[in-house]
Chain A
Amino acid sequence: MGERILFFILAIVAILSAGGVVFSRNPVRSALLLVLNFFTLALIYFTLSAQFIGALQVIVYAGAIMVLFLFVIMLLNLGSPDAMPSERDLKRPLAYLIGFGILVTLVVQSQALLYPGAPQASPEVGTARVIGLALFTQWAYPLLLMGVLLTVGVIGSILLARRRAS
């Protein structure tokens, strides 16, 4: 019972903050609400006993990526989006369509998982040991490929950021 109440509180905060990200007129507040959203998402992971993923969610998304986002917003001192020219093309309806499609897929999929008597994950499944064993044995090759991808990204960003030799 307690867990369910906690889930609903977290879910409401997550949904409200996600809405705030889209509707806020101030880019810094948008970014802050996104941080709040990531943080509540991490707390939801914790309640699902996926503690490792929850901690990584905070470290990587809330702690590193969003700090960089805010950093750039503050450094460039972005104004409100009203200043941007509104483009009337296919992008916006297409975005609505894709977003709605993802929503429908998620709802349908979660309904399929929530039938009575669905198998429960063991509470051990979220520990660092279990995830590490899975990653480095069963999924070792995809992991290596991800490592290559990240290395390419790092080298590419260094190349882009390098000052041109004049």
Chain B
Amino acid sequence: MTLADFGWAIVRIAIMLGFLLSVLPLVIWLERRALAWFQNRVGPNRLGPFGLLQPMADAAKLFFKEEIVPASADRFIWALAPALSLFPALVAAATIPWGPNRLLTPVADVDIGLLYFLAMSSLAAYGVLLAGWSSNNKYSLLGGLRASAQVISYELGMGLALATAVLASGSFRMTSIVEMQAQPLWGVAPFLHNWLIFTPWGLIGGALFFVCMLAETNRAPFDLPEAESELVAGYQTEYSSMKFAAFFMGEYIAILAICGIMTTCFLGGYLAPINFSPIQALGEQGGFWGVLATITGALMPPFWFILKLFGLFFSFLWIRATLLRLRYDQLMNVGWRFLIPVGLVNLALLTVYVIWGWIPSLIGYGVAIALYFAIFGSRKPQRREVVLVSEAQPYRPKEA
């Protein structure tokens, strides 16, 4: 590794962290304003234009808040937990390419790009779990236990959903996954890109990943770990001042990182919706076409990436404002009995496509959907009574 390589690596890291941290106030402002609009309120609009400076004021307020340490807390682990929730979130985005320039992005284009993301997101459970335990508060503990059970359950579904992208592109490398999606749509429409979401396996995998994404980041409707009506504030009940802010930052950065993964694996990454490569070819002549080629080839891709990223984030807000929180047994049922079987069948049919081509694969999808409706379609949803059995799993269906 030469000194120049080292310098470029520092530049790449600085750009990624700089983007994540500087876009954070905007994201928090967007969340508050958009939720307000959804709920027919105004939201924070006093400080700065459109209330844009409100997150800054909140951060300044949190800096000056007194930090209260619970008397019976395990102090070392209690202080470690916010850091453990912030660290995986900050480093998880390191393999995501946000543009075609390999000097600036991604931070590390490693052979195990997706596995690296899975590894880092699996470490995210520790911050929440330890925060809940070390606070020595029953609400915190319940929140922490719920969060870790949820994250473990949905990690499997997430892995299966991401495996469709890996199998379709033949590589764990993020840049290869994006390049695979740069091919013509279904191999026939050269002016469009073949985003994975436009294929049957990609559509199902993307939908599964979207659900898992909500659950992994503990967002509504999967926000049981911090259900305020049952658990006060869940695992972060005992945290105040900057430690609370650290959890808050960790949550939003994790959302941005996971939206970046969804963008890269299913929505074509930094690729434009239209294939601009004819303009690239014309750009060789220079002049007007050269300028246009620079804009479409070098300047626009980060813009497309950020547009998709914020579109996904907005869908998070939309869902939060629209859907009700799930019950614990519903959460586990969705994870284990729906996402994982569907993910496995989807993966098997994608394998059929890879080996035998698209006709047998589409027939397989038809058969699978017909079978699903033949078996489950006629069943009416059962009404279930729930009883309180134990603290960690408050609701369970009553035994028949």
Contact = CB atoms under 8 A, between A and B. Distances in A.
29 contacts: A28-B74, A42-B119, A51-B111, A52-B111, A52-B112, A52-B115, A54-B112, A55-B112, A56-B115, A58-B120, A59-B118, A62-B119, A62-B122, A63-B122, A63-B123, A63-B155, A64-B122, A67-B151, A67-B152, A70-B126, A70-B130, A71-B148, A74-B132, A74-B141, A74-B144, A74-B145, A75-B392, A128-B172, A163-B399
A29 interface: yes
A67 B126 contact: yes
A105 interface: no
A63 B145 contact: no
B148 A128 contact: no
Contacts of A59: 115, 118-119, 122
Interface residues on A, range: 20 to 34
Contacts of B318: none
Nearest to B134: A28
B74 A63 contact: no
Given A67-B126, A128-B172, A74 B115 contact: no
Closest 10 CB pairs of A and B: A63-B122, A58-B119, A55-B115, A55-B112, A74-B133, A59-B119, A127-B111, A67-B125, A51-B112, A55-B119
A32 B77 contact: yes
A42 B151 CA distance: 22
B116 interface: yes
Given A52-B112, A71-B149, A74-B144, A35 B126 contact: yes
Interface string A1-41: 00000000000000000000000001011001001000000
A28 B122 CA distance: 18
A68 interface: yes
Contacts, number: 78
Interface residues of B, number: 30
A74 B145 CA distance: 8
Nearest to B129: A70
Most buried by A among B111, B125, B133, B155: B111
Nearest to A26: B74
A71 B89 CA distance: 21
Contacts of B149: 71
Given A67-B125, A68-B152, A71-B145, A28 B133 contact: yes
B110 interface: yes
Given A51-B110, A64-B155, A128-B172, A71 B129 contact: yes
